[in-house]
């Protein structure tokens, strides 16, 4: 339903589509609301792609400049976030800096305060092992894993973003999980 807000938007907020319409009608200041809503998602794609804070921030800026200049081409056939992440993916893959993709594991995950120091050290070691194993993914697998597990997108949305057929997305995710399982079991 047009104008319906996804979970996590404050009551009284306007939908992305409504804000886009206002921006296209000349209220260009409203574009900042779209940036505020979606910058973190684009940043996470950049971080998974480049594994560098500065590169990820540069990607965010470049993506939003492109999105602003191409805003009139957004047709609403998919969610704005899907369209935006497609721009992010294309920008990252065609950018000047091409690096092997390194997936990251969120650090600072909430831990039970009652957990002992030993449990915390084991968790940090396991996170390091997962981070290390993720560096062995192909760039295609890594971006699919990022979008699937960290961005919580459906295979069909990942397909729209990457241009990979849905079955290829499923295959990349399946192979990445299998490789990670094998690598992590070797270290266990």
Q: What pLDDT does 168 receive? A: 94
Could you tell me which residues come within 8 angstroms of residue 183 by beta carbon, excluding any fewer than 6 positions away?
133, 136
Q: What is the pLDDT of residue 109?
A: 37
- Specify the pTM: 0.57
Per-residue pLDDT of 135-182, as tens digits, reads 788 888 888 888 887 788 899 999 998 999 999 999 999 998 888 888
CATH label, 13-99, candidates 1.10.1740.10, 3.20.20.370, 3.40.50.2300, 3.30.70.1730: 1.10.1740.10
Range(s) for CATH 1.10.1740.10 in the chain?
13-99
Residues forming CATH 1.10.10.10 domain(s) in the chain: 113-188
Nearby residues of 49 by Cβ (< 8 Å), 6 or more positions away: 55, 56, 59, 92, 99, 101, 139, 142, 143
Q: Which of 87, 110, 75 is nearest to 35 (CA)?
A: 87
**CATH no., domain 113-188:** 1.10.10.10
In degrees, rounded to 5, the angle at the alpha carbon of residue 115 between the alpha carbons of residues 112 and 118 is 140
pLDDT band for position 127 (cuts 50, 70, 90)? low
Long-range contacts from 34-38, C-beta under 8 angstroms, 24+ separation:
34/64, 34/67, 34/80, 35/64, 37/9, 38/80, 38/81, 38/84
């Amino acid at each position: 339903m047009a104008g319906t807000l996804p979970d996590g938007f404050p009551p009284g907020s306007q939908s992305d589509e409504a804000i886009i319409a206002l921006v296209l009608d000349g209220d260009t200041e409203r574009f900042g609301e779209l940036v505020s809503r979606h910058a973190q998602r684009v940043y996470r794609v950049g971080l998974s792609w480049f594994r560098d804070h500065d590169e990820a921030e540069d990607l965010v800026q470049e993506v939003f400049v492109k999105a602003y200049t191409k805003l009139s081409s957004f047709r609403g056939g998919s969610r704005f976030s899907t369209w935006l992440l497609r721009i992010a993916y294309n920008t990252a893959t065609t950018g000047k800096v091409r690096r092997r993709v390194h997936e990251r594991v969120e650090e600072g995950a909430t831990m039970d305060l009652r957990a002992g120091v030993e449990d915390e050290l084991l968790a940090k070691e396991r996170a390091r092992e997962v981070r290390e194993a993720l560096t062995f993914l192909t760039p295609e697998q890594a971006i699919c894993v990022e979008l699937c597990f960290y961005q919580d997108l459906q295979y069909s949305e990942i397909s729209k973003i990457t241009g990979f057929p849905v079955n290829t997305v499923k295959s990349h995710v399946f192979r990445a999980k299998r490789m990670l399982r094998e690598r992590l079991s070797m270290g266990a």
